[in-house]
Amino acid sequence: MVKLDLELVPTTANGKSFVLLFFKAPLPKAELTIIGPSKWEKPLVTDDQGRMTLPTPWAGHYVLEVTHFDEKPGGSREEKLSPTRHISSLSFTQPTGLTWPEKR
């Protein structure tokens, strides 16, 4: 069940596919970043249906981060407000995959 204005939702249990929802609707062509073990990171873009499949080659902890600007500014004629920035993140652990060498 979606609870946030901007939310990353898995499409299957324990899967690598997610959909990015903005006010419960898929958000196409949105940019996000995946950060993996040892601070490895990669930019990603959702498809036309707001979906993406994550590259998770290593076993370990991952974080997804996304920022979306709602381009509908508000305010009155005298006072214009900037677009609203929405930020969401999701963390998960990938139990299988390559092992990352530990730092000594």
Looking at residue 42, which CATH number applies to its domain?
2.60.40
- 76 lies in which domain range? 6-94
How many structural domains comprise the chain?
A: 1
In a domain, 19, yes or no: yes
What confidence score (pLDDT) does residue 41 get? 93
* pLDDT of the residue at 1: 64
Q: How confident is the model at residue 14 (pLDDT cuts 50, 70, 90)?
A: confident
Convert 11-79 into a string of H (helix), E (strand) and C (coil): CCCCCCEEEEEECCEECCCCEEEEECHHHCEEEEECCCCCEEECCCCECEEEEEEEEEEECCCCECCCC
pLDDT at 28: 97
Residues 52-89: tens digit of each pLDDT: 999 999 999 999 999 999 877 666 666 676 778 899 99
Q: What pLDDT was estimated at residue 71?
A: 74
pTM for the whole thing? 0.82
CA distance between the termini of the chain: 43
